[in-house]
A and B are shown apart, each in its own frame.
Chain A
Amino acid sequence: MKNLKLKAARAGMDMSQADLAEAVGVSRQTISAIEKGDYNPTINLCIKICKVLGKTLDELFWTEE
């Protein structure tokens, strides 16, 4: 399932996938895969992404289903 919340939060910070990738220490392809729903990141990476984007885990990674 696509992670549109992450994509929106990143775009809201005016960051490219490459910018976010560099900030959290992963490859651009990994950010792309997370946004497309092709990869489930570890909790450590989720936390790093949340800190960079100023969001909580719930706001970025919790799905209402």
Chain B
Amino acid sequence: MYNGARMMGVMVGIAVGLIIAVIIIRFVNRNKGMTTEYDEMQKLIRGEGYKYAFYAMLIFEALMCVLTLGIELPAEPYVVHFMAIFVGVTFQASYCIWKGAYVGMNTNLRRYIILMAIISVFNLLTAFMAWRSGDLIVDGKFQAPAVNLLCGLMFAVIGLVGFAKKLTDREEEA
């Protein structure tokens, strides 16, 4: 089941993801810098966000460990570990959005939203195409394209939290 080609594929995927992340950061920051600037309250909240995200990842991984002792999960192990990463990122992002610490001082919000939407749609489409060709689930187990599905869903959830926050802010300001 485990072979060099698949491992290489996942590593290339991660490398491409990192390169895209760097491009995104440079594109969405108004000063084209690599560092997103946050004010004192945002830094504090982001720290809390990382803490809760860490706990969420720990709980998720522990839960998956316990589950794998009793049942065979309907996903390849690396998909489960990616899921843990996405759980952590979603927790951190959602917490920061809700507390007003997600968007940096030098972030072009419009560009950021457009990019998030593109990434979400691109990943969901990739997963959909894999599902159509029968590559998403093989022998009852989620395969590599499930990572695209999770990534697309993660960005969609983050977008929904952002939208809900905007509506709440609008009500507060009114």
- A residues whose Cβ falls under 8 Å from a Cβ of B: 25-27, 29-30, 32-33, 39, 41-42, 45
Contact yes or no, A33 B40, CB < 8 A: no
Please give the number of chain B residues whose Cβ is less than 8 angstroms from any Cβ of chain A in the complex.
Answer: 12
A-B contact count (CB 8 A): 34
Contact yes or no, A45 B40, CB < 8 A: yes
The CA-CA distance from A42 to B40 in the complex, in Å, is: 8
Q: Which of B4-12, B62-70, B100-108, B117-125 is the contact stretch?
A: B100-108
Mask: chain B, 93-112; 1 = CB below 8 Å from A; 0 = not: 00000011101010000000
Give the shortest distance, in Å, between A45 (CB) and chain B (any CB).
6
B126 interface hit (Cβ, 8 Å)? no
- B residues whose Cβ falls under 8 Å from a Cβ of A: 38-42, 44, 99-101, 103, 105, 172
Give the shortest distance, in Å, between A23 (CB) and chain B (any CB).
13
| Chain B residues touching A, majority SS | loop
Chain A residue nearest to B103 in the complex (CB): A27
Q: Which residues of A contact B39 (CB under 8 A)?
A: 25-27, 30
Chain B residue nearest to A22 in the complex (CB): B105
> What are the 3 tightest A-B residue pairs by CB atom distance, in nearest-first order?
A29-B100, A26-B39, A30-B41
A-B contact pairs, 29 of them (CB 8 A): A25-B39, A25-B105, A26-B40, A26-B41, A26-B105, A27-B38, A27-B41, A27-B42, A27-B100, A27-B101, A27-B103, A27-B105, A29-B41, A29-B42, A29-B99, A29-B100, A29-B101, A30-B39, A30-B40, A30-B41, A30-B100, A33-B41, A33-B100, A39-B41, A39-B44, A41-B40, A41-B41, A42-B40, A45-B40
The CA-CA distance from A26 to B42 in the complex, in Å, is: 9
Chain B residue nearest to A25 in the complex (CB): B39
Known: A29-B100, A30-B42, A39-B44. 4 other contacts (CB 8 A): A26-B41, A29-B101, A30-B41, A39-B41
Give the shortest distance, in Å, between A30 (CB) and chain B (any CB).
4
Chain A residue nearest to B102 in the complex (CB): A29
The CA-CA distance from A26 to B101 in the complex, in Å, is: 11
Give the shortest distance, in Å, between A40 (CB) and chain B (any CB).
9
Contact yes or no, B40 A32, CB < 8 A: no
Give the shortest distance, in Å, between B172 (CB) and chain A (any CB).
8
